[in-house]
Structure 1
Amino acid sequence: MEAAGRALCARDPFNPLITTSTQAAGILVISHCFHLFLKQFGQPGPVAQILAGIVLGPSLLSRITKVNQFFIQSSTEDYYKVLQFIFRTIFMFLLGLEMDIPYMRRNLRKASIIASGGLIIGVLFGIVAFISLIILLRIKASFDYASSIIIVLANSASPVVFRLAAELKFLTSDTGRMAVCASLISEMSCVLLGSIVHSASWEYFGKGILLLLLTIALIVVNKYLAFWCNQRTRNQKYVTHAEFLVFLSLLVTAALVIEKYGYISTASSFLFGLMFPREGKTTRSLLHKLSYATYNFILPVYFGCIGFQFDVSYMGSFNSFIMVIMMIFMSIASKIIGTLFACHYLKIPTDEGIVLGFLLDLKGNAEFHIMRNLPKDTLNPMDQENVQNLVVSVVVMNTVIAGVVVAHILRKKEEYFSHSHTSLELGEHESELRMLACVYGSRHISSKIGLISAFSESLKTPVTAYLMHLVELPKKRTKKNLMYHQLQDGDRYSDEEDYGGNDVVEINDAVDAYTMETKVLIHQRKVVSSFERMYEDVCDSIEDLRVSIIFLTFHKHQRLDGKMESGKVGMRITNHKILRHAPCSVGIFVDRGQTGFQQPSSQSVQNIAALFFGGSDDREALACCKMISNHPHIHLTLIHFQHSPSSEQTGSNNGTPHRDDELLMDMSSHDIEADIDRAVVQDFYNRYVTPGQVGYVEKYVENGTQTAEALRDIHDTYSLLIVGKGGRGHSPMTTGMSDWEECPELGTVGDLLASSELNTNSSVLVIQQYRHSRNDLN
């Protein structure tokens, strides 16, 4: 890379370095001020950062002579290029590392069609734009410039798409992930097309093959290095700083070699991250160390540099102004038209198609790179400067416009794009099930991994599992007074990482062992907060991650003598608040240790029972059981509790109620719920019990006393009992059971099953279905 060589060999490297650092600091400060104002209107960070670059650039502050002389020097341009190269390389690697590979694999066809729609129409509009460029600006351009203008118009900037979707909190939605996948395909296609067009020779093709072999070799080296580092750092949270720098140096060096031979390293950097091993401390360390710097420093400066290159004075002439407006219009129109055609073919709703179109219209630094790499002798210097200023103006204004429009659409259509899969009963989750398991310490990790395993290995549809470590933030905390160079290897400057103690290592090791064994990836999160405010972070994560069910840990644990002992009071407070405020269904898991539920395997076949009394929560519990019934090492039995026939006043046992118009007019809400219950049980019976996949037992009881006796009869037969929290109304089958209720958050039946009085060895999972109204949580 020529810019890197010139920057290293500069006669006065200190002054340009100060200039570059000052520019970065100015962008960060000004963008933060802009963001404080713009976030009130729902605008994302990248818009504020680009505007900060515009303010700092030649459009405003750099018009002042002293500021211009300080920021815009001949030697600083090479530093900017080197920084942009390093930033782009690191982010593309991180993007590949964070990429949802299962989603990309199963939606590759859809993403390719959407990307192709925008690319094809973009190429057609690009030809029109190039002809207009020749007519309006009277430029005699070569084929290289023509192809570059077309590529700029057709391209989509995946870093900008990714960050904008993340800022607007819909990156985990189908629309957000589809936009990222389509933008990656579009960008990689444009990079490849640009490389072929600009250097179509056998020599260049041979270099490309060699660089492809270099990329493959580095992917293999990374795999073995990561495995070695994982084995070497068994008792540490992260790999050492030296090992981290080795991986980073290999990445930057390989990208530098690729750029040196005239190729853009974007695709290779992304492949390095995409093919990097997902399990172990190495990946966790890279994500941990790169994410904070990337999202809080690298990307704001990256976006700010895009705006910094914009010069509003270029649009002073009428022809230039018309050309910029025309290209912006054609860029937006090409993406919207192409994407809507593709979405119509794929039967994707129009609202989603419009959002996808504007997202794919976002531009970035890759367009500048394409223009800079053109042969210098294809245009005279004046025409070359005009074209580059045109591209900069189009990229900056187009990105700001598209970002503002997407934010506005998402704010107006908030209900449509918001978290919708809030329970298990309402859908069969034909596309994906997203779940979140929470642990307070290492003693809870085994049972939660068992639950994740039960879902992941049962469903034919994909399961995205998250594990969240909830750590109490003490009221009094002494900060570290260590400087960065005084930290030990594997530590981090922020003392937040000290929270969790040895539990963090044990949890990480358990997750890594499960991933190595089953190849099922568990995404880890950590919340450090006081128990009074912890539920807010958890509920925010539920919405951001768009999970359908969250599994909490009961505040009591089993002692060696079998008695249940209370843990921290804050755990119970947090569970109560999450039950009340969670925007999805909630399960509370009562762990019985070694005698209770374990991870299902050929050596540990689990007998599970679903207890059905009726009501919305029991139906949600039954929906949960549907999703684990296909597991090869789980034997599921449905135990249907029914009111004894001797006490029945109306109805019949065959589940077919007598209906007529008069009865429907007088039917109470309890009767409607009873009909829904019978329909759900009948459907479950036909689909799972009749083929012999699930066992079925009916128990007839008259009151709570008989129900308690029946529960005592079955308590040691199963390793896990699944039951709904409540929602049954005033059921005769549980009458009187609430008199000895100790933990109302478990409901009447769940509280009895979790109590020490029952003397059971079975774990208990109590399910509460998400309620749109929180007035009644019984």
Structure 2
Amino acid sequence: MEKMEAAEKATCRSVDNFNPLITTIFQVSCILVISHMFHILLKPLGQPGPFAQLLAGVVVGPTLLSRIRRVEDFFIQASSAEYYMFFSFLCRMLFMFSIGLETDIPYFKRNIRVVSIVAGGGIILASICAAPLLWLLIKVFTVTKSRFPFYLLIFTVLANSASPVVIRMIAESKFDNADLGRLAIYSSLISEMSCVAFVATLTACSSTIRLVGAIIATLVTVLLIFLNNYLPSFFNKRNRHNRFLTNSELFLIIFILLAMSLLVESAGYTAITCCFLAGLMFPREGKTCRTLLHKLTYAVNTFVLPVYFGYTGFQFNISKIFNKLTLILTVLIILLSTGTKIVATLAACYYLKIPRNESLILSFLLNMKGNYDLIIINSPPVPNMLWENDIHDLFLSVVVLKTLILAPVVAIWLNRGEFCAHYPTTLEILNPESELRMLACAYIPRHVSGYLSLISALSGCPNATLNPYVAHLVELPKKKKSKLMYHQLEDGDQYSDEEEYGGNDVVQITNALDSFISETKIPVHEAKIVSSFLTINQDVCNGAVDLRVSIIFLPFHKHQRVDGKMENSMEGIRTINQKVIRHAPCSVGIFLDRGQTGFQQPHGSLCVQNIATFFFSGPDDREALACSKRILMHSQVSLTVFRFIQANSSIQNSWISDASHKDEEVIMAISSIGTENEMDNVFVDTFYNRYVAQGKASLIEKYVSDGAETLVALREILDNMYSLVIVGKGGRENSSLTIGMSDWEECPELGLVGDLLASSEMNFNGSLLVIQQHRHSEEDEAFITP
């Protein structure tokens, strides 16, 4: 009996009217339901999820519903705060670990200077502005002790940018792949982690006990990172033939993460940096990382973050700021905090030569609050210390109101998208040494091997970053009516989850990507599109827009048999290819992979592969040559460009005396040149000066009069055993160089030359890449870089 009473007291103290655990769960449920309703209502207006979730917390909290006496007695109890804090801790740890996992490390390394300057400007100015505000608030609240922690609180509220809020706003606006969106995300991360490090360092230096706690927290973080480097490899080997880890293995990883986080928290420091670093240092290749991303992304975005943001709004009580002095101080701190970030960010962006409109929206994004600042407000960096109620309510009101005021403004601004709606949709206007984003579409595992060879070749230059996405396209199966009971169905007869679509192909594709990433260390993003073959082309085009890719690679509808002959495998692919070519938002390449006799993966290969590019005229051929620029940078690739010229034409070659021209000068000249021939000449001249004159590639001119001579020249060239041929699709207009070649055209989507090379008439055993350039608008010219 005594034990039962003790257990009852542990879960429900005498001063509590209800079991605080039940009220906490009910509160979480109310926040989720109301936030979802607000999100449905506000999403058509362009408002982000964090705003709806904060608003739901405000509605459930003492500002509105909890003002009712019975609701207040149910939600706000003596023991409920402990449960709320524990749930808040769990949410924090999970989403910070998830943020670390999703961090684009290559982008972060390339732009560490830029994001550090943007974030550092706000931190430096905030540390200066915090001093006069500290003097003012000390006078107002008559603070006589703990002034140093009070300064740290003011500094954090002024300097911190809540990375979870910024990330969710950017992601829901679909700008997480835009340069400005990524700059905002990583600047907010640097800002938040710098605030944590700054506060922790100063706190550790304040006493010997705090220094010992900092050493313990550091050792625990190092131990967690060390375990994360060995556990994934063990789990990957254990699940060699599976796509994901088991739930027990996943639970073990999460349990270790939370246990280590509790140790850091018990040492007197927040564990958000520990969890973020654990996710950041987590091995990216293999099934372990894929499982964590697959499981955590949905859970964090659907449950964890809404509860966390909702609880932030729940703590806010608008009646606390009705006092005239408190209201004035709240407005003053909000204005000072906002002005500090705006001025510092604009100054940093001016130094970095970032456009003014992008600088302004970036400064407002970095003004989002609601993560580390809340930790300092609720848990001061001094053991057994609590802020006075007036100070706690003041800064809590500042954090919540600032986000509620600025989030809608920023969301409306983002949805206009004038500053980052456009992106380079062709390779011709993209600098060969800038980032290339590509989307490769595969239906079956056979398609993936060819794409991996292309990815390997395109990533040959260390200065030219490649960001490849491989999308597995799966036909949505028709619903089957069955009289069998559920337990009587055979495996594969019933699909209960979209993740099951694709059958064994999913596992094979995943294994191929894992092996490639492990061998080459080239990060490849995996995606899956499940749709009807009637609409899958729309999903591909929409995915290309969301990912902001410059080129889409599609597989040819024929494949090479064991005997070397080409066989029609999936006729539906051909129809989809034709639809994508017509409606693609960027350039498109159709890849005919002859894996046995054609192009092989350059990485790890001892022999150099010969590649040929055929250049006739027009934008498609310039796009093909632009793609060839990327490939020739690989050390195991030898490129030869064959330019076909009308025999009776007089083309003045100027590349011998033009070797000092820069790409910027040439491309700027393109905009003022009227005819396609002149544009072709300038483009080829630029290629010669930059690559042929430097001995990186070869350029051979072929003078022909008609299609018959072109055919003869092609046969002579292909006798040299090229493993890959790249050619532009070409328009439907007639050219004297290809007269008569359309008489046996079988695949119009390949163009005249591409269709000829894909036919059995040419006896060509290499792979073929046919490229069509996207007809970009004048606005795309802004992306032309030197």
Q: Which residue of 2 aligns with 1:150?
A: 155
Q: Which residue of 2 aligns with 1:772?
A: 776
| Aligned match for 1:276, one of 282, 290, 308 | 282
1:104 paired to 2:108: yes
Q: Which residue of 2 aligns with 1:497?
A: 499
1:285 paired to 2:291: yes
Alpha-carbon distance in structure 1 between the residues aligned to 2:21 and 2:312: 19
Q: Which residue of 1 aligns with 2:418?
A: 415
Answer whether contact 2:213 2:268 (CA < 8 A) is retained.
Answer: no
Deviation at 1:767, TM superposition (A): 0.7
Moved more, 206-215 or 283-292: 206-215
Q: Which residue of 2 aligns with 1:48?
A: 52
Moved more, 737-746 or 623-632: 737-746
Q: Which residue of 2 aligns with 1:696?
A: 699
Alpha-carbon distance in structure 1 between the residues aligned to 2:158 and 2:611: 58
Question: Aligned ranges for residues 195-344 of structure 1 at < 5 Å?
Answer: 195-198=200-203, 200-344=206-350
SS of 2:765's equivalent? coil
Moved more, 185-194 or 623-632: 185-194
Alpha-carbon distance in structure 2 between the residues aligned to 1:101 and 1:299: 23
Question: Aligned ranges for residues 430-449 of structure 1 at < 5 Å?
Answer: 430-449=433-452
1:675 paired to 2:681: no
AA aligned opposite 2:101: L
SS of 2:358's equivalent? helix
| Aligned match for 1:374, one of 376, 380, 399 | 380
Alpha-carbon distance in structure 2 between the residues aligned to 1:458 and 1:429: 9
AA aligned opposite 2:163: S
SS of 2:128's equivalent? helix
Alpha-carbon distance in structure 2 between the residues aligned to 1:335 and 1:398: 13
Alpha-carbon distance in structure 2 between the residues aligned to 1:19 and 1:715: 76
Answer whether contact 2:317 2:397 (CA < 8 A) is retained.
Answer: yes
Q: Which residue of 2 aligns with 1:113?
A: 117
CA RMSD, 1 decimal = 2.8
Cα displacement string for residues 663-686 of structure 1 (whole angstroms, at most 9, x for unaligned residues) = xxxxxx997101111111122122
1:707 paired to 2:713: no
1:719 paired to 2:723: yes
AA aligned opposite 2:258: V
1:29 paired to 2:33: yes
AA aligned opposite 2:43: K
Deviation at 1:655, TM superposition (A): 6.6
Deviation at 1:611, TM superposition (A): 0.5
Alpha-carbon distance in structure 2 between the residues aligned to 1:501 and 1:7: 51
Answer whether contact 2:432 2:630 (CA < 8 A) is retained.
Answer: no
Cα displacement string for residues 663-716 of structure 1 (whole angstroms, at most 9, x for unaligned residues) = xxxxxx997101111111122122222232212222222222332333233335
Q: Which residue of 2 aligns with 1:507?
A: 509
Cα displacement string for residues 385-414 of structure 1 (whole angstroms, at most 9, x for unaligned residues) = 1211112211111112222222222234x2
SS of 2:176's equivalent? coil
1:349 paired to 2:355: yes
Q: Which residue of 2 aligns with 1:90?
A: 94
| Aligned match for 2:570, one of 565, 568, 578 | 568
AA aligned opposite 2:364: F
Alpha-carbon distance in structure 2 between the residues aligned to 1:507 and 1:376: 52
Alpha-carbon distance in structure 2 between the residues aligned to 1:555 and 1:478: 31
Answer whether contact 2:639 2:697 (CA < 8 A) is retained.
Answer: yes
Q: Which residue of 2 aligns with 1:167?
A: 172
TM-score by length of 1: 0.90
Deviation at 1:612, TM superposition (A): 0.3
SS of 2:694's equivalent? coil
Percent sequence identity is: 50
AA aligned opposite 2:297: S
TM-score by length of 2: 0.90
Answer whether contact 2:203 2:210 (CA < 8 A) is retained.
Answer: no
Deviation at 1:482, TM superposition (A): 7.6
Answer whether contact 1:614 1:728 (CA < 8 A) is retained.
Answer: no
Alpha-carbon distance in structure 2 between the residues aligned to 1:378 and 1:249: 27
1:57 paired to 2:61: yes
Moved more, 682-691 or 223-232: 682-691
Deviation at 1:348, TM superposition (A): 1.7
SS of 2:703's equivalent? strand
Q: Which residue of 1 aligns with 2:190?
A: 185
AA aligned opposite 2:706: N
AA aligned opposite 2:264: I
Moved more, 113-122 or 707-716: 707-716
Alpha-carbon distance in structure 2 between the residues aligned to 1:540 and 1:8: 57
| Aligned match for 2:751, one of 742, 747, 750 | 747
AA aligned opposite 1:597: F
Q: Which residue of 2 aligns with 1:611?
A: 614
SS of 2:19's equivalent? helix
Q: Which residue of 2 aligns with 1:659?
A: none
AA aligned opposite 1:692: G
Question: Aligned ranges for residues 586-601 of structure 1 at < 5 Å?
Answer: 586-600=588-602, 601=604
Cα displacement string for residues 544-595 of structure 1 (whole angstroms, at most 9, x for unaligned residues) = 2221112111122122344332233332232222222222111110111211
Alpha-carbon distance in structure 2 between the residues aligned to 1:710 and 1:275: 54
Alpha-carbon distance in structure 1 between the residues aligned to 2:307 and 2:623: 47
AA aligned opposite 1:440: Y
SS of 1:595's equivalent? coil
Deviation at 1:740, TM superposition (A): 2.3
Deviation at 1:216, TM superposition (A): 1.2
Deviation at 1:353, TM superposition (A): 1.6
SS of 1:510's equivalent? helix
Cα displacement string for residues 286-321 of structure 1 (whole angstroms, at most 9, x for unaligned residues) = 111111111111111111111111111112122111
Alpha-carbon distance in structure 2 between the residues aligned to 1:310 and 1:569: 60
Q: Which residue of 1 aligns with 2:389?
A: 385
AA aligned opposite 1:441: I
AA aligned opposite 1:367: D
Question: Aligned ranges for residues 642-681 of structure 1 at < 5 Å?
Answer: 642-645=645-648, 648=649, 651-652=650-651, 654=653, 672-681=675-684
| Aligned match for 1:74, one of 71, 78, 85 | 78
Answer whether contact 2:220 2:263 (CA < 8 A) is retained.
Answer: no
Deviation at 1:127, TM superposition (A): 2.9
Deviation at 1:138, TM superposition (A): 5.9
SS of 2:441's equivalent? strand
Moved more, 106-115 or 556-565: 556-565
Alpha-carbon distance in structure 1 between the residues aligned to 2:56 and 2:322: 21
* Change in CA separation of 1:66 and 1:691 when aligned onto 2, cut-off 3 Å: same
Q: Which residue of 2 aligns with 1:476?
A: 479
Alpha-carbon distance in structure 2 between the residues aligned to 1:671 and 1:63: 72
